[in-house]
Structure 1
Amino acid sequence: MVELNFLARWFHVLFGVVWIGMLYYFNFVQMAYFAEAEPSAKSDAMKKLAPRALWWFRWGAAATFVTGLALLHLGGYSFTSMADRPLIWLGMLMGTLMFLNVWLIIWPNQQIVLGMKEGDGAAAGAKATLASRTNTLFSGPMLFGMLAASHYAVGASPQAFYVGAGVVLLLEINAIFGKLGVLKSTVGVIHSSLALTLILWGLVSYL
């Protein structure tokens, strides 16, 4: 079981590097490039580059999620541990929402943007961008929570998890129905991710 647990953790981290690496590529590199690229270069990238990147992105997300479920089972986590290990549970919540955003919002709308499906490209692009920015927002505190599982176990009241989860779910609702706001810029999304990490850490530490 020790070897199996370690292998599951290794694969989980490996697939997570692929997923989050592609997420950062899209948000910090490709979006800025597409905003400045010549029409011919952008068109070529949308036909040849973006579909390949999205393949690694969505399947990296799926593999990370599946190996995360395996770790959840092998590690013996239960809902009763929310109060004892709230950070890891908040990390799992954000990771799950990020996975769902990839497959239910980002990928379907990117298919429209890339001309693989019929639809309003501008509206689809806006929806995909908001969900992708939200995933980037979640990525910092999600990783903080995952690392806390083994390296920063903090005891807290059950309310700490529920309040933190409420904050996360409000941000997810914005990802589905809201607007970019401060997430519009790269600097804004980075600062927001760091701020959310501090907020959740503070809730768990002091509530």
Structure 2
Amino acid sequence: MISEMVSVPADHLTLSGDFVVPDSSRATVLFVHGVHTSRQDPATRSVAAELHRAGFGTLAVDLFSETEGRRAEAMSEQRVDIDMLGRRLIAAVDWLGIQPDARTLPVVLFAAGAEAAAALIAAAALPDEVLTVVSWAGQPELADEFLERVRVPVLFVESGEDPEDLRSSGQAAERLAGPHAVREVRGASHRLREPGALSRAAAVVEEWFTEVHRPT
């Protein structure tokens, strides 16, 4: 199994990432971080470990540099430049496409909170490179006009505890050009702190991948 810290060029800087490719990987799950979360978060590492055991590679990448990240912690999601995060995520997907151990693997974007909007922007721009998006307690509405351009399958996961979140995901889903689903998963907060949330997150990714992936 290949495991390394990597630097991903994007927007005239380099983004830090953790890249793991188990033997005979089925796909690469790209964890998107930037606003109030980090690739070094224990929750991300735990979900990634579960996915490695299930045969998935992972790239966890911070879309902010360290200096930018400190500033972002003081921002609300509404003030973050989502378009910029989308461009940087596109660069990360492009980077995967030239890695010898990952370039032939389908890419699954997994994002929570505001980063889910960046994932949808990247999916809209790269329909041939991105297999699917999993928005976990995300804010897809921040992708705005890019929603109508998304043709890849998208899964919206919400906890069901806040009807407004479910309504927002449902409205975003209706604007997509491709297939989609909205599911309630108990304890599906973007921090993944609830008991059992980590294993459920990994299981949701695996189940959704199996549902949308049709090997050629």
Give the alignment's TM-score, normalised by structure 2: 0.30
Q: Which has the higher strand share?
A: 2
Ranked by relative contact order (alpha carbons within 8 Å, sequence separation 6 or more), the top structure is: 1
